[in-house]
Structure 1
Amino acid sequence: MKNLLSIAAVALLSLPVACSGQSAPATVKPGTYRAVLKTKGGDLPFGLDIQPTAGDAKGYAVFAINGNERLPMDAATVQGDSLYIPMALFESELVAKIDGNLLRGVWRRRRTAQQVQSLPFEAQHGVTYRFAPGKAASANLSGKWATDFGSKTGKVDTVNAVGVFNQKGNQLSGTFLTPTGDYRYLDGNVIGDSLFMSCFDGSHIYLFKARHNPVTKTLTGGHWAGVSGYEDWVAHFDPNAELPDPAKLTYLKPGAKTLNFSFPEPNGKQVSMTDPRFKNKVTIVQIMGSWCPNCMDETNFMSPWYKRNKQRGIEVVGLSFERSPEMAESGPKIDRMKQRFKIDYPIVLAGTNDKAQASKALPDLNAVVAFPTTIFIDKKGQVRHIHTGFSGPGTGKYYDQYVEEFNRLIDKLVAE
């Protein structure tokens, strides 16, 4: 984060978000803000809740609001006339000049030591609507939608995602399930015959737009991601839409029975499946990355679960695949992740997050298809189950179903 802030300090010299001559820091109005990022697809809205920190005149607690999620940002501070909201886990930040009810500035994310992405940002105090207030919906989009992202024909030629939506009036919430994870908490509106949904969590920046055709029961639109990503998508209403079995996408190669690895923790300690801590214990291996919001959701489940269950003869180890293979670069990111989620089990640096390279690092597997992937190993050290992807809490009943199946499998392995 130190490098990011150094870059940010230089970048601020060319942005109208701070005034060096101000003698006393400005104050931020506490409460709810309607925030927007200015993307190529138009305004991408999300909620912010900003509250002063007790005993700290310059400090604020900030939450990003997407649907039912209130995601805590890192502690925010006022410097001069600007508010700084860091999200160290994702190496990003919001920086905005305070102007009464308004905040105006930029969102920035460090991709590499030389590359910083940015988008204009603004937020208005006391405004709570998402896309548009008081505009009626002429369509009800609740239910399941067989979806084809990247469709070039305007037809659902393949199903690579399932949209799961819940509409109340003109308010729409839900997500897209995919074979490798979900799009987390999406929130938005149905305005007339059109869908508008968005998400901002510091890493994910998603904007969805689509028009509904009541005759063909299809949605046709576009998806903007991050600073420059875009793809067409089309969906067809289908209550029976399903994805491939997540237990059949990643598997051991013929002849392999266990997962062999040896990787270092940030402190330099080497961790291997042959270590005494894993002997005669049920072991869960997380294939993950600190940059990955779906991995964040899984870890938010796994860390407290491990604390409650480790005395049953269970261990967990995280294999983190980061953007850089260098420990000096990626070790601090792993440490920040461990601190944020209060992780008691070891997280090692396993390599880079390129899936081809990650697959080479774990040659017992057919391939690393998704981050996260969860591997269940029995007391004899043999792989018994591999689950590709993760359906997080934004998926509702699909998350509940995953937790139930997870606990059922662990109970079986512990009892053996």
Structure 2
Amino acid sequence: MLVKYRLVFAFILFSLSSCFVIENTFTGLPPGKWRAVLKLEPKQITPNPKGQPLPEKLNLKFEEVTAGELPFNFEVIYENETDFYIEIRNGEERIRLDDIVMGRDPRTAKDTILIDIPIFDSYFKGIYEENLIEGTWVVRNREEYIIPFVARFGQDHRFTTLRKDPVMDLSGKWKTFFEVDTDNPLPAIGEFQQDGNHLLGTFRTETGDYRFLEGTVQADKLYLSCFDGSHAFLFEGKIQPDSTIIGIFRSGKHYKTIWEAQLDPTFTLADPDSLTSMKEGEQSISFSFPDAEGNIISLSDKRFENKPKIIQLMGTWCPNCWDETKFLIDYIQEYSPEGIEFLALAFEKYRDKDRALRAIDTYQKRMNLPYPILWAGFHEKAEALEALPMLRNIDAFPTLIFLDRNNQVVKIHSGFNGPATSKYDEFVSDFNKTVQSLAIAQ
């Protein structure tokens, strides 16, 4: 659905945080490039009860940017004289948003825009004046999760217009640890590509990747960000005299930690096929869960009898799951693997059944999925494990479980190295080999 450049008055928008009446007609957003900033509020960052060293106590100052501001870029594109959509840009990634409504809010008498992101259950609501939009980004599946934002037309830079000479080229693979201020730092690999001041990259972890990051290197500082409608990632780092990096990572307004990295092309993470396993004595998978229409689907149903199966553990809120889902859709469309059934189990951020099923229904229709999604429960991993008690652990969304025709587990692959990573092609190759082995065994 495309937004209309001129809207007829008296259209009533469905309720987001509250509803308002669209009245009067007026011109839509100007076409071209925009720069947006999410204002992450430090006072709402996760507290520090253990008294661990915080970034502000480590003399980490990032004077090239405004503290706590996460920038991203988008473009307004017109398909004809009246219809336009918004395209978010993160490095090579392009995310199309076309659920847009503009009009005058009678309560404020101001021109208002609503940009819905139904795949990830979030939206922007803002006041539009001249070449400026100011408002909030709201995530529906989090309680009271509201972040102020401002967007300006005609700006194309991400963090800064400065061009300070970088002290080094960061291109390469970096051994990284997050939460270094805790007893259990989390390993990762930073993959960076630098061209002058421009910096692209991602971080691979044992549960997934941080998708498409884009930013800049200014002297001895680096800045990276990503916004995709769900993730709101901000990385800031300072290059030390010994060429290591120490920095701050924020995820939205709810999480903030310290990270460290050093250039090390030999560093590796755990094998994703080894992270999730079955309990001792268990060999097969079984379950019964409702689909988006409330129908109970079971692996014992006739449609699944004597067929190999690929089970995706995922959540509609999860961008890594979104990347993997797009891969699975493309794979099915290209290869049409005969006799192999695909099925997704969604672990949602809603405990309420009706809201969870609506989120799944929206996701399935928007993605035009060729396989069913079942509601398996809440997204907390401990509760997810209760839904599949034959598993020893669930460490990542997404996770793929490959079953033979007798529902015996052939392989479990945790996490997803998506198209932003150097390991994506390796994942595709391994997936193809596993599916071929299932087909041959059939």
The alignment's TM-score, normalised by the length of structure 2, stands at 0.85
The aligned residue for residue 423 of structure 2 is: 398
Alpha-carbon distance between aligned partners in 2 of 1:279 and 1:87, rounded to the nearest angstrom: 37
CA drift of 1:134 comes to: 4.3
Native 8 Å contact 2:22 2:103 kept in 1: no
Aligned to 2:62: none
* Separation in structure 2 between the aligned mates of residue 402 and residue 38 of structure 1, nearest angstrom: 36
2:402–2:411 contact (8 Å) kept in structure 1: yes
Counterpart of 2:367 in structure 1 is 341
Residue equivalent to 2:85:
61
Amino acid at match of 2:125: V
Match of 2:156 among 104, 107, 128: 128
Q: Which residue of 2 aligns with 1:188?
A: 215
Task: Please give the alpha-carbon distance, in whole angstroms, between the structure 1 residues aligned to 2:351 and 2:192.
Answer: 39
On the 8 A contact 1:283/1:378 being kept in 2, the answer is yes
Q: Which residue of 2 aligns with 1:73?
A: 97
Deviation at 1:159, TM superposition (A): 5.5
Deviation for aligned residue 1:7? 4.8
**Contact 1:306–1:316 (8 Å) recurs in 2:** no
Alpha-carbon distance, 1:157 to partner: 8.5
1:162–1:241 contact (8 Å) kept in structure 2: yes
The answer to which of 191-200 and 372-381 deviates more is 372-381
Secondary structure at the residue paired with 1:247?
Answer: coil
Report the equivalent of 2:434: 409
SS in 2 for 1:25: coil
1:201 is the counterpart of 2:228? yes
Matches within 5 A, 1:294-333: 294-333=320-359
Deviation at 1:310, TM superposition (A): 3.7
Distance in 2 between the 1:254 and 1:150 partners? 32
Identity percentage over the alignment? 39
Per-residue deviation at 1:21? 11
Counterpart position of 1:15: none
- Could you say what secondary structure the match of 2:136 adopts? strand
Q: Is the 8 A contact 2:179 2:185 kept in 1?
A: no
Alignment match, 1:146: 175
> How many angstroms apart in 2 are the aligned matches of 1:287 and 1:6?
31
1:137 CA displacement: 1.7
What residue in structure 1 maps to residue 383 of structure 2? 357
Answer yes or no: is 1:137 the counterpart of 2:166: yes
Residues 10-89 of structure 1 aligned to structure 2 (within 5 Å): 23-40=24-41, 41-52=67-78, 54=80, 57=82, 60-80=84-104, 81-89=111-119
Q: Tell me if structure 1 keeps the 8 A contact 2:25–2:103.
A: no
Q: Deviations over 1:111-133 (max 9, x none)?
A: 35xx3322221122222111112
Question: Alignment RMSD, CA only?
Answer: 2.1
Find the aligned partners of 2:233 and 2:411 in 1 and give their Cα distance.
Answer: 32
Q: C-alpha displacement at 1:38, in angstroms? A: 1.3
Partner of 1:170 in structure 2? 197
For 1:194, give the aligned amino acid: K
Q: What is the one-letter code of the residue matched to 1:6? A: S
State the AA in 2 paired with 1:297.
D
Q: Deviation at 1:374? A: 0.4
Match of 2:239 in 1: 212
Q: Distance in 2 between matches of 1:279 and 1:21?
A: 52
- TM-superposed CA distance for 1:98, in Å, is 2.1
The answer (yes or no) to whether the contact 1:37–1:119 under 8 Å persists in 2 is yes
SS at match of 1:295: helix
* Shift in Å, 1:23: 3.7
Equivalence for 1:386:
412
Can you give the 5+ residue segments of structure 2 that lack an aligned partner in the other structure?
A: 1-12, 42-66, 105-110
1:371-416 C-alpha deviation (Å, 9 max, x unpaired): 1100011223211000000111111x31111111101111122112
The answer for unaligned runs of 5 or more in structure 1 is 13-19
Question: What is the CA-CA distance between 1:86 and the residue it aligns to?
Answer: 0.6
Between the two proteins, the alignment pairs up a number of residues equal to 397
1:369 aligned residue (380, 389, 395): 395
Confirm or deny: 8 A CA contact 1:29 1:100 kept in the other structure.
Answer: no
Report the secondary structure of 1:8's partner residue: coil
Alignment of 1:202-281 (within 5 A): 202-215=229-242, 217-281=243-307
**Cα distance 1:67–1:21, how it changes in 2: closer, same or farther (>3 A)?**
closer
